[in-house]
């Protein structure tokens, strides 16, 4: 396989930065990151593009940087999408088994999945992902592959992620305007979870929270499958905005204060402490109360977690996440955010690590890159699938022969 065709690129258009991750799929299907490019994002609010021209420029910068670093030409990307319009829900499809001996065939499985996908969405919405969960045969739960089993009725649970068609089109149009193809769009939260979680963690159950500037995405895995996804159009920008409003400082200064002095927990020891606001000219003219700063931040972050917890509670999902919470995105850098998450969810919380990737390790082990890396990883899966399909005829022939040979050898 040529080098160009084995390159997969993930592009995450975020609210504060745009990140392009170039990876290479090796022979065994693993992903090797070879380049990362990033640029400050200026035309995005709450995960959605508000200025296409600026965004196009920023995307170009990020892609060019990744190209230079990886020394490849980027022709197509896997594009991450997010925004408050994206929703996830579970649906179940039914199918009666018609064959005389009640054996479930491949056709039955395809039919039941097709039935499950027949969802009544608002006309302006489009499905982003359909993730297959478990099959049920005659009410028996937790079946991964029912082909070859016997039963009268087969059901399947799927998780559907959908969003507003026009708003999904916007980032695609921006990327296409740069003469870069979009291989597929991927929900950013799902991509982050791909980057952070190992199969074992998915099996045990985990909650991934990707807290960006504009949006907070969350994905719940349990029993190895996606149980729940969601987006809150609230993020780090809101924290800055709250600070700017509450401390009566300009937004840029609030942003700076958040990075320098912010924390997710109000520590009793900081009571009464103040931070002098330095000035380029002359002595500091003003100071802000550190406790106020922390309290404003704490309330906002706590609320975000509480909203997620409230979303997950009805399905009882919090009891199934034995691996706890994994945080990524820029929000994961806030000091003590994991103890806040532990408090709200009652689960162990930790910073997500992009373990399952090889490559530029030190550069990549940062929470902000989780989505980009996950997108590249999603691309590598697709790449592998496509390669299999592509080579199916030749390979199929080959495998049949080898099968025979081996058989013959055995015999």
Partner 1 sequence: MSSVPAKKLSIKVIGIGSAGANAIAHMAQSDLREMTFLAMHTSGRVLANCATQDKLLLGLKLMRGLGTGGDPDLGKAAAEEDILKLKKSCEGQDLVFIVAGLGGGTATGVAPVLARIAKEAGALVLAIVTLPFEFEGVRRQRQAQLGLQRLRAAADGVICLPHQKLTKLIDENTSLIETFNIANDLLGEGVRGIWQMLTRHGLINVDFTDLCSVLRGRHAESSFATAQAQGESRARDVVEKLLASPLLEGGMLTEADAVLVSLVGGPDLTMADVNRVMEQINRQAENAQVIMGAAVADEFQGRLSVTLVASRRSPAVSETPRQEGPGTLDDASAPGGSARDFDNHFLDIDATHRPASRFLPPPPALTPERTKQLLAGQPTSGARNRKSSRWHQSQLPLEIVSKGRFEKSEPTVHHGENLDVPTYIRRGIALN
Q: Which residue in 242, 267, 336, 365 binds partner 1 (CB under 8 A)?
A: 242
Pick from 1, 50, 98, 259 the residue near partner 1 by CB under 8 A. Answer: 50
The reply to whether 16 sits near partner 1 by the rule CB under 8 A is no
SS3 391: coil
List the one residue from 17, 46, 129, 159 that touches partner 1 (CB under 8 A): 46
Q: Which of 176, 295, 353, 384 binds partner 1 (CB under 8 A)?
A: 295
Q: What are the beta bridge partners of residue 10?
A: 21, 78
Among 34-42, 197-205, 228-236, 366-374, which window interacts with partner 1 (CB under 8 A)?
Answer: 228-236
**Residue 261 is a binding residue for partner 1 (CB under 8 A):** no
Nearer to partner 1, 188 or 380 (CB): 188
Q: Look at the block and give the residue holding tokens 């509480």.
A: 306
Q: Is 227 in the site for partner 1 (CB under 8 A)?
A: no
From the list 33-41, 98-106, 235-243, 398-406, the region that binds partner 1 by CB under 8 A is 235-243
Between CA 102 and CA 152 the distance in angstroms is 6
Among 169, 241, 256, 350, binds partner 1 (CB under 8 A): 241
Smallest distance from the beta carbon of 90 to partner 1, in angstroms? 20
Which residues in 273-292 contact partner 1 (CB under 8 A)? 289, 292
Q: Pick between residue 37 and residue 47 the one whose CB is nearest to partner 1.
A: 47
Closest approach, Cβ 148 to partner 1, in A, equals: 45
Q: Does 234 bind partner 1 (CB under 8 A)?
A: yes
Q: Which residue has the tokens 């399905």?
A: 315
Strand-pairing partners, residue 161, are 88, 129
The residue range among 46-54, 55-63, 345-353, 400-408 that interacts with partner 1, by the rule CB under 8 A, is 46-54
Structure tokens at 341: 């998450």
Task: Name the nearest CA neighbour of 330 among 31, 8, 18.
Answer: 18
Instruction: Name the nearest CA neighbour of 192 among 163, 240, 229.
Output: 229
By CB under 8 A, is residue 343 in contact with partner 1?
Answer: no
Q: How many angstroms separate the CA atoms of 89 and 83, rounded?
A: 16
Q: How far is CA 363 from the centre of its chain?
A: 19
307 binds partner 1 (CB under 8 A): yes
Question: In the stretch 54-93, what mask flags binding to partner 1 with x, by CB under 8 A?
Answer: ------------------------------x---------
Distance of CA 328 to the CA centre of its chain: 10
Number of chain residues interacting with partner 1 (CB under 8 A): 26
The answer to whether residue 228 forms part of the interface with partner 1 (CB under 8 A) is: no
Picking from 135, 142, 141, the residue whose alpha carbon sits closest to that of residue 158 is: 135
What whole-number distance in Å separates Cα of residue 390 and Cα of residue 379? 16
According to the 3-state scheme, what is the secondary structure of 283-342?
A: CCCEEEEHHHHHHHHHHHHHHHHHHHHHHHHHHCHHHHCCCCEEEECHHHHCCCHHHHHH
What is 49-75 written as a DSSP string? Answer: ES-HHHHHHHHHHHHHHHHHHHTS---
203 binds partner 1 (CB under 8 A): no
205, 181 contact by CB (below 8 A): no
- Using CB under 8 A, which of 303, 336, 342, 365 touches partner 1? 303
Residues near partner 1, by CB under 8 A: 45-46, 48, 50, 84, 232-234, 237-238, 240-242, 244-246, 251, 289, 292, 295-296, 299-300, 302-303, 307
């Amino acid at each position: 396989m040529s080098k160009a065709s084995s390159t997969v690129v993930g592009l995450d258009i975020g609210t504060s930065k745009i990140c392009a991750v170039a990876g290479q799929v090796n022979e065994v299907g693993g992903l090797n990151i070879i380049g990362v490019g990033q640029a400050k994002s200026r035309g995005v609010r709450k995960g959605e593009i508000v200025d296409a021209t600026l965004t196009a420029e920023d995307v170009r910068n990020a892609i060019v940087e990744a190209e230079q670093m990886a020394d490849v030409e980027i022709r197509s990307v896997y594009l991450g999408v997010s925004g408050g319009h994206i929703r996830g829900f579970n649906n179940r499809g039914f199918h009666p088994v018609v064959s005389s001996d009640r054996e479930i065939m491949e056709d039955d499985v395809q039919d039941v999945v097709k039935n499950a996908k027949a969802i009544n969405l608002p006309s302006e919405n489009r499905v982003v992902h359909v993730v297959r969960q478990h099959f049920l045969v005659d009410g028996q739960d937790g079946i991964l592959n029912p082909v070859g089993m016997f039963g009268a009725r087969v059901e399947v649970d799927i998780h559907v992620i959908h969003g507003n068609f026009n708003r999904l089109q916007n980032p695609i149009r921006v990327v296409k305007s740069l003469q870069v193809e979009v291989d597929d769009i991927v929900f950013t939260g799902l991509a982050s979870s791909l980057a952070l979680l190992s199969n074992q963690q998915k099996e045990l159950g985990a909650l991934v929270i990707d807290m960006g500037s504009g949006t907070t995405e969350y994905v719940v895995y349990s029993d190895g499958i996606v149980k729940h996804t969601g987006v809150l159009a609230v993020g780090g920008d809101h924290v800055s905005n709250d600070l700017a409003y509450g401390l009566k400082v300009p937004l840029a200064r609030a942003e700076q204060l958040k990075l320098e002095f912010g924390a997710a927990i109000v520590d009793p020891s900081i009571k009464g402490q103040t931070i002098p606001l330095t000035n380029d000219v002359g002595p500091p003219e003003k100071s802000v109360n550190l406790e106020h700063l922390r309290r404003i931040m704490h309330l906002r972050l706590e609320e975000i977690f509480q909203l997620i917890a409230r979303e997950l509670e009805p399905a009882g999902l919090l009891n199934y996440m034995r691996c706890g919470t994994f945080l990524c995105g820029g929000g994961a850098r806030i000091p003590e955010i994991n103890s806040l998450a532990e408090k709200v969810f009652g689960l162990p919380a930790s910073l997500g690590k992009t373990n399952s990737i090889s490559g530029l390790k030190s550069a990549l082990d940062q929470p902000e890159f989780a989505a980009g890396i996950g997108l590249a990883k999603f691309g590598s899966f697709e790449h592998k699938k496509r390669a299999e399909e592509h080579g199916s005829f030749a390979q199929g022939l080959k495998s049949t022969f080898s099968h025979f040979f081996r058989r013959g050898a055995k015999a």
